[in-house]
Structure 1
Amino acid sequence: MQSIPVDTARLGTMTCIVAPEVRLANRETGEVRTTREGVPVYTVGVAVRQEGRRASIIEVSVNGEPAGITEGTRVTLTGLVAFSWAMGDRHGLSFRAESITPAPTAPAATPAGRKGAEA
C-alpha cells in the first residue's frame, strides 16, 4: 500500500457527518479491530468541502474513540494520510488520521466601541 500525506490546510471545511463508530474486524462475530497495542480503531464519516466546490465524503480511521465528536461538529484532522489499495478488480483510497478533534471556534465578535467586560 502506498501512503500519501494529505495537506489538510487545503481541504477547506471538514464536518463530521457520521459519528465515531468502532471498526469491526469480523462482522459475523462482532470482533472489534484493534491496534497491536490493543487500542480499538474507530471510523468517522467526514464531509470535506472546499470553497465553491461540492462536498466529498471520506471515512477516516483513528486509533481510540475521538472525544467530543458528534454529527454536525466541525473537525480538525491531524496527521491525515491516504492509502491506495487494490483487491482484485476493486481499488480505491482509505484514510487514517493520528487524531480527530473538534475544530476551534472563532471568538465571538464584540460590538463596535466596546472594549471588554464592564465592571
Structure 2
Amino acid sequence: MRNIPIPVDVHRLRFTCVKAARPRVVDQDTGKIKTDKEGNKIYESVLLAEDELGRIELVKVGTSGQPPIAPGQDVVPTAMVGYVWEIPQNGASRWGISYKATSIVPVSGIPAGEQSV
C-alpha cells in the first residue's frame, strides 16, 4: 500500500483538545519514543473534531515537538494530513487513518480570518 498524504481541510472543522499531548511510544516493552527525521520526539494529541452539521469524531494527531495546548482549549492543527494504514492480522487486515500536523495551536493565537468554524 502506498502511503500518500491526504490533505485535511481544517477550515470546515472545529477542534477542541481533549487530552494533552504525550510522546508517542512505538515499543511498549522498551518505552522507545517515536522520532521524526531530525530526531525530534513525536507527540500525539487527542482532539475532538466537529463539522458544520455537529458530527463529532475523536482523532489522534501527531506533531514534531510538544504543542502548546491543554485540554478544553479550542485549537487549530496546521498543515494537517491523513495517511491510510493497513496491518495484516490473523489472516485478516486492520486499517485506519493516522493524522499528522505541522503544529497545533490554540485558537486564541490565530488571526481571526484563519480560524476554523
TM-score computed with the length of structure 1 as normaliser: 0.82
1:90 aligns to what SS in structure 2?
strand
Distance 1:84 1:20 in 2: 22
How big is the alpha-carbon RMSD for the aligned residues of Structure 1 and Structure 2?
1.5
Displacement, 1:52?
3.3
Equivalent residues of 2:76, 2:104 under 8 A apart:
yes
1:35 aligns to what SS in structure 2?
coil
Displacement, 1:105?
7.2
Structure 2 residues not aligned, in runs of 5+: 111-117
What is the correspondence of 1:12-91 to structure 2 with a 5 Å cutoff?
13-67=14-68, 69-88=69-88, 89-91=93-95
TM-score computed with the length of structure 2 as normaliser: 0.83
Distance 1:4 1:54 in 2: 20
Displacement, 1:65?
0.5
Q: Which structure: larger Rg? A: 1
Displacement, 1:104?
2.1
Distance 1:75 1:86 in 2: 29
Runs (4+) of structure 1 moved beyond 4 Å? none
Structure 1 residues not aligned, in runs of 5+: 107-119
Distance 1:63 1:105 in 2: 19
More strand by share: 2
More helix by share: 2
